[in-house]
Amino acid sequence: MSRKKLFGAMARKDSVPAQEFHDHYRHPHGTMGMQISTLREYVQCHQIDTHFLNECQRRFEAIAELWYDNAEDLLGFRSEPTMTSYLNEDEANFVDLKATRLFIGEEEVLTSQPEKSLINADLANGKWRLSDRPLSVKIIQFIEPNAGAGWCSAEDEAIGLRLGAFRHVRCHPTTPSTIVSSRTQRAPDFIGVRELWWPTVTAFQKAVEADQRAWRDMVARNHVHTLLAQAERWR
């Protein structure tokens, strides 16, 4: 059975300053998150402002990415001991829970490493591996239901390569989708997630500036929410 990936798109409480939100998410919340017994991978994504996106990029201040071995562990994640003794209650200290959204998916990898031209330009690019990176930079796109099945375009991979993405993944919804509707009392908010990685903000900026048409092709799609984030690998 494939591993399950849970995205928690977190909105910041209005009463909590941005720096305090990000600090609290890292510690104490992240420190305790590392103690979740069923968790296999844990990444915190902290939103970064960029002039390439409009003010809607701040809809979500951070994204939690949690991997579980199976559906049973994911379904029971709220009742795991560290969650019940600390994390469930702590969320309310800095997160706007009503505006927070969940998505469960499995990855389809379009690009797993930099293309040859980037490696030829700098040997270090060929040594880059996401699993080895404590920090990386990525674009995350949450696909809303009105986008329809066409959100998976045959041109996606080519656009990512034109933008010099070191890695490019599409996440498709998977069971147990009931965890979303049972918690929020509504239909799932997203039908997919797209992620593209670069090693640094500078690398991302240079890539977009080098092919602004490819960037527009990616972000101008309707019913897609896009943000830039620093991805911090905790496990």
Q: What is the mean pLDDT of residues 213-218?
A: 96
Q: Which residues pair with 171 in a beta bridge?
A: 107, 193
| pLDDT of residue 1 exceeding 50 | no
The pLDDT score that the predictor gives to residue 149 is: 84
CB 47: neighbour CB atoms within 10 A?
A: 22
Q: What is the mean pLDDT of residues 5-25?
A: 97
The pLDDT score that the predictor gives to residue 76 is: 86
Taking the domains of the chain in order of start, what are their residue ranges? 4-233
Share above pLDDT 70 across residues of the chain, in percent, rounded to a whole number: 94
The pLDDT score that the predictor gives to residue 4 is: 85
Q: Give dist(CA 220, CA 110) in Å, integer.
A: 20
Please answer whether residues 128 and 113 qualify as being in contact, where contact means their C-beta atoms are separated by less than 8 angstroms: yes
| pLDDT of residue 63 exceeding 80 | yes
Please answer whether residues 29 and 229 qualify as being in contact, where contact means their C-beta atoms are separated by less than 8 angstroms: no
Instruction: Please enumerate in sequence order all residues whose Cβ is within 8 A of that of 27, keeping only pairs 6 or more positions apart, or say none.
Output: none
Q: What is the mean pLDDT of residues 11-38?
A: 97
What pLDDT digit, counting tens, does each position of 156-189 carry? 999 999 999 999 999 999 866 555 544 555 567 8
| pLDDT of residue 225 exceeding 70 | yes
Q: Global pTM? A: 0.93
The pLDDT score that the predictor gives to residue 77 is: 87
Q: What is the mean pLDDT of residues 97-107?
A: 93
Any idea what DSSP says for residue 108?
E
CB 186: neighbour CB atoms within 10 A?
A: 8
Please answer whether residues 229 and 45 qualify as being in contact, where contact means their C-beta atoms are separated by less than 8 angstroms: yes
Q: Which of 135, 148, 126 lies closest to 192, judged by CA?
A: 148
User: Could you tell me the fold of the domain covering 4-233?
Assistant: Alpha-Beta Plaits (3.30.70)
